[in-house]
Amino acid sequence: MKKIALFGICGKMGKSMLSELILEEDIIIAAGFDKTNIGTDIGVLTGREISGIKVTDNYEDILLAKPDLILDFTGPEIVYKNILWAIENKIDLIVGATGLKREEIEIIKEKTKKSKNKVFIVPNFSIGAVLMIMLSSMAAKYFENCEIIEMHHDKKKDAPSGTAIATSIAISEKKKFNSSKLLSDEKETLEGSRGAFSDGVHIHSVRLPGLLAHQSVIFGSKGQTLTIKHDSIDRSSFYPGLILAIRNLDKLQNFTYGLDKLIEI
């Protein structure tokens, strides 16, 4: 039986994953952490019977619950602090929140190496999205350039998305398309019109109501383009990847980045 503390339990992702996790026979939700609905029974969040577990914003309450694992679906304003706290208190952690800076990830990696617990950072739990990244990495060497268009709901706090950044990194490991954002004879008549620039790849972010999570990776060469596209139309699409991460965490090294480490193609 695995005891889990769910951080960001009151958010859309947290509540969606909570409604699935409580159905698992070998998982107990031992604590819920959030900045809203403090003191609310977590059973209320899913419309089920009272559980006796109340939402807290206090780390000490989490320690009292003695979880085996923290699932973090908070936001960029607190996720880094949460991770450092979990490492310090030797609690395994799976991170679904995005917005971590590269230098923060490097610090987390080094601290985890010196600890006995595991930190698994997953920019996207959708298995389809992970396959999109892996296939994009495979396709990169056959094309002359590449750009990414990522589209999310208008409540997403970070841009570009963690998935888009992870995609650009994976592509650049196979081929570096551009050394600078603009070509020598290229000019932005409106600043930012060429999007963001990450690891030789341009990234364009769209935020609109009605969207959930969507990304297109567009490759181009003479006379042809290739688009690798993925759409998450419901948050339930993230659960198979989450449960895959939970069930296989013990097989991973102390620090792991990306669900692709558990997927073979």
CATH of the domain at 47: 3.40.50.720
Q: Of the given ranges (174-188, 192-206, 236-250), which has the lowest mean pLDDT?
A: 174-188
Q: Which residue has the higher pLDDT, 151 or 50?
A: 151
pLDDT in tens, 137-146: 999 999 999 9
Q: Residue 206 maps to which CATH number? A: 3.30.360.10
Residue 159, pLDDT > 80, answer yes
**pLDDT value of residue 191:** 92
pLDDT over threshold 80, residue 49? no
> What is the chain's mean pLDDT, rounded?
94
pLDDT beyond 90 at 184 = no
Range of the domain at 195: 127-233
Work out how many domains the chain is built from and give that number: 2
Interval 3-24 mean pLDDT: 94
Residue-by-residue DSSP string for 40-105? -BHHHHHTS---S-BEE--HHHHHHH--SEEEE---TTTHHHHHHHHHHTT-EEEE------HHHH
Cβ atoms of 246 and 120 within 8 Å: the answer is no
Q: Cα–Cα distance between 255 and 245 in angstroms, integer? A: 13
Determine the residue type at 16: S
Do both 244 and 176 map to the same domain?
Answer: no
Same domain? For 116 and 247 the reply is yes
Whether 15 and 85 map to the same domain: the answer is: yes
Residues identified as active-site: 152, 156
Residue 252 has pLDDT above 80, yes or no: yes
**Residue that has been written with the tokens 């997953």 in this structure:** 122
Q: Same domain, yes or no, for 40 and 74?
A: yes
Say what percent of the chain tops pLDDT 90. Answer: 84
| pLDDT score of 122 | 93
For the entire predicted model, the pTM comes to: 0.84
Using CA atoms, how far apart are residues 27 and 94, in angstroms rounded to an integer? 15
Distance between CA 40 and CA 21 in Å, rounded? 18
Residue 260: per-residue pLDDT: 93
For the stretch 193-232, pLDDT in tens is 999 999 999 999 999 999 999 999 999 999 999 999 999 9
Same domain, 57 and 148: no
Helices 127-139 and 239-248: crossing angle in degrees, nearest 10, is 90
Residues 37-58, mean pLDDT to the nearest whole number:
88
> Is 245 found in the same domain as 135?
no
Q: What angle do CA 76, 110, 69 make, to 5 degrees?
A: 60
